[in-house]
Structure 1
Amino acid sequence: MVPTPRPLFKINVDGAVATAAKKAGVGVIVRDELGRVEAAMCRNLNAPLGAIETESMAIEARLLFAKDIDIRDIVVQSDSLILVKALNGTSVPPSAISVVVQGILDLSLSFRKVEFSHVKRQGNRSAHVVAKHALSIVDFIIWIEETPCFLEQALIHDVTSQVFH
């Protein structure tokens, strides 16, 4: 008997930085193997972080979120090539994020399957919209099996850009 293949969830992450306000936000979109949104999350970091630090925190938040909602087989997509290369072991992470990268790698051991993949910025639009929304909230918001209205247009763009093929 052949075991049923487990669904592989695609998780897009992005960070947004508001330098003047001295805060950053992260956005997470979880999709099933057909590209349907299963969950989304945004978190205001309320800290003056740079772009690479925010992106690394977004990936860490995504892993924690996936673990919390009991997803164990994932592909993490980020538009930060520096981070993806560091997480795949093909380059050394910048010193500013080396501790966070090690934490992400340690956390990824609690999953059955984790892949880190680079996606161009235009293929990560939905996660960026959610990250920008995080800048306007106090803490965090999670949507399970529902899509916030501010995200609808970006999701349509993702589908028409054939992000899932």
Structure 2
Amino acid sequence: MGYYKLNWDATIAKEASKVAIGAVIRDQMGLVVGTLQAQKVLFVDSFMAEAYALMLAVIFCRDMGIQDIIMEGDALQVIHVLNKATTDWSQGGVLIANAKMILNTLHSWSGSHVKREGNKAAHILARNTPSLEEDLYVLEDYPACIHSIILSEMM
């Protein structure tokens, strides 16, 4: 009760040197309270892309005033670094450390790995982000591209 679930994902458009990010925040009833679609020109590997996506998603949650969050991502390496007590000093590790600093200002948080099947909505948002002209933050609704996924997960 009172917890929110954050799923995030990132894809890389190598030809455009862009990272595309998708994130979905749900309340304890499974209702979508916000989505994020953003992109950034970066020359990165998949670890750094997922770490950057995590950081943006955490900032979005903080800005929404969320204090208790359960995070699920399909990037095992990112989840591993997030849950470690020590800092990974790679570029991606520093992004995760920054996200962790924000998370530590919240009441409570946890991060766990989920298979791609359990992260479908965030993945679809990320895949559809390059078609947008600007970043998209949606509150109390969600883009049409994930409508069928949200409905199937609510059943």
Instruction: Name the TM-score, length of structure 2 as normaliser.
Output: 0.91
Alignment of structure 1 residues 84-163 onto 2, 5 Å: 84-89=79-84, 93=88, 95-159=90-154
Alignment of structure 1 residues 1-165 onto 2, 5 Å: 7-89=2-84, 93=88, 95-159=90-154
1:53 counterpart letter in structure 2: M
CA-to-partner distance for each residue in 1:44-89, whole Å, 9 max, x for gaps?
1122322111110111011100011111100111101111111111
Q: Tell me, in whole angstroms, the C-alpha distance in 1 between the residues paired with 2:68 and 2:110.
A: 9
Q: Is the 8 A contact 2:87 2:94 kept in 1?
A: no
Which shifted more, 148-157 or 97-106?
Answer: 148-157
Q: What percentage of residue pairs aligned between the two structures are identical?
A: 24
Q: Tell me, in whole angstroms, the C-alpha distance in 2 between the residues paired with 1:127 and 1:47.
A: 20
Instruction: Name the TM-score, length of structure 1 as normaliser.
Output: 0.86
CA RMSD of aligned residues (A): 1.8
Please report how far the alpha carbon of residue 117 of structure 1 lies from its aligned counterpart in structure 2 after TM superposition.
1.0
Please report how far the alpha carbon of residue 36 of structure 1 lies from its aligned counterpart in structure 2 after TM superposition.
0.9
2:55 counterpart letter in structure 1: E
Please report how far the alpha carbon of residue 93 of structure 1 lies from its aligned counterpart in structure 2 after TM superposition.
4.1
2:139 counterpart letter in structure 1: I
Q: Is the 8 A contact 2:9 2:53 kept in 1?
A: yes
Please report how far the alpha carbon of residue 43 of structure 1 lies from its aligned counterpart in structure 2 after TM superposition.
0.4
Q: Tell me, in whole angstroms, the C-alpha distance in 1 between the residues paired with 2:43 and 2:148.
A: 29
Question: Where does structure 1 lack aligned partners over 5 or more consecutive residues?
Answer: 1-5, 161-165
Which shifted more, 92-101 or 112-121?
Answer: 92-101
Higher helix fraction: Structure 1 or Structure 2?
A: 2
How many residues of Structure 1 are paired with residues of Structure 2 in the alignment? 155
Q: Tell me, in whole angstroms, the C-alpha distance in 2 between the residues paired with 1:8 and 1:104.
A: 18
Runs of 4 or more above 3 Å deviation = 90-94, 156-160
